[in-house]
Amino acid sequence: MNHLIIYTHPRKRSFNHAILDAVTESLRQEGDEVIVRDLYGIGFQPVLGPSELLGGVGEDVVLEQSYVSWAEHVVFIYPLWWTGMPAMLKGYIDRVFSYGFAYKYDDGVQIGLLAGKKATLIHTQNKSSEQYEASGMGNALRLTIDEGILAYCGFKVNHHFVFDSILSSNVEDRKTWLAQLSEWVRK
């Protein structure tokens, strides 16, 4: 299987980077092809330009769209900041998942053009999942990201993993999570 990993974290020594390493290694052990797009590492420009609103896309976007087209499974790894994805990732989606590539309208009916692809989301957050669920934010995240972006574009959301209470976690917690993740991602 062809896997594209969209990784979004500015620090190389973060738990998110450990997640990236674990997922990449696990998928490659299965003999699958893996391409990693480290948005900070490649210096991705997240700002949507005026011409892109009219359908014109630059070479950088065409390249990223070729990776998305190639992939059967797209994995997003990112921290949750201000109850949402980092601006870098949101800008990637704004620019790369453009009209005519990721979705279109046919007689007023929305059509997801990335149908047949799977998506897995892995995000870290500092609050506990219980706090997010109690406030309704957990459901809001699933609606806006899983449904409002990915399903809208045709993806089948395979899994959405949440690693919570990151600041209060310890080394043993993180080792356990990474071991579990390596098993879960392959399913």
> How is 65-89 classified by DSSP, letter by letter?
HHHHHH-SEEEEEEE-BTTB--HHH
Q: What is the pLDDT of residues 86-133, one digit of tens each?
A: 999 999 999 999 999 999 999 999 999 999 999 999 999 887 788 878
Q: Which residues contact 23 (CB under 8 A, 6 or more apart)?
A: 5, 75, 77, 122, 181, 182, 185
Q: What is the pLDDT of residues 31-48, one digit of tens each?
A: 999 999 999 999 999 999
Mean pLDDT of 27-31: 90
Position 186 confidence tier, pLDDT thresholds 50, 70, 90? low
| Mean pLDDT rounded to a whole number for the chain | 91
For the entire predicted model, the pTM comes to 0.93
Please tell me the predicted confidence (pLDDT) of residue 187: 59
Residue of 115 and 138 predicted with greater confidence: 115
Q: What is the pLDDT of residues 45-96, one digit of tens each?
A: 999 988 888 778 999 999 999 999 999 999 999 999 998 999 999 999 999 9
Please tell me the predicted confidence (pLDDT) of residue 132: 78
